[in-house]
Amino acid sequence: MNRKNIWKDIALVIIGSILYGAGLSLFLIPKNVVMGGASGLAVTVHALTSLPVGVGIVLINIPLLILNIRLCGWRGMARTIIGVFVTSVFTDLMEFLPAASEDALLSAFCGGALMGAGAGVMLPRGFTTGGSDLAAYLINRKIKKWSVGSILLTLDAMIIVGSAIALHNFSGIIHSVAAALAYSMALNAMMNGAGRAKLSFIVSDHYEQISDVIMEKINRGATVLHGKGWYTGKDKTVVMCVTKRSELYMLEQTVHEIDPGAFMIISDAAQVLGEGFEEKDEHGNNP
Q: Please state, rounded to an integer, the average pLDDT across all residues of the chain.
A: 83
Q: In what order do the strands lie in the sheet with 235-244?
A: 223-228, 235-244, 197-203, 263-269
User: What is the average pLDDT across 103-122?
Assistant: 90
Sign, CA dihedral 201-279-246-215, equals negative
Report domain extents, the chain: 3-190, 197-269
pLDDT of residue 256: 86
pLDDT band at 138 (very low <50, low <70, confident <90, very high): confident
Using the predicted structure, report yes or no on whether residue 251 has a pLDDT greater than 90: no
| Cα gap 108→20, rounded to integer Å | 13
Question: Does 197-269 carry CATH code 3.30.70.120?
Answer: yes
In angstroms, the Cα distances linking 55 to 89, 90, 136, 144, 214 are 8, 11, 22, 32, 33
Question: Are the C-beta atoms of 130 and 83 separated by less than 8 Å?
Answer: yes
| Maximum alpha-carbon separation in the chain | 71
Displacement of CA 212 from its chain's centroid (Å): 22
pLDDT of residue 55: 93
pLDDT band at 282 (very low <50, low <70, confident <90, very high): very low
Phi, psi of 166 (to 5 degrees): -65, -35
Instruction: Say which residue, 192 or 141, is predicted with more confidence.
Output: 141
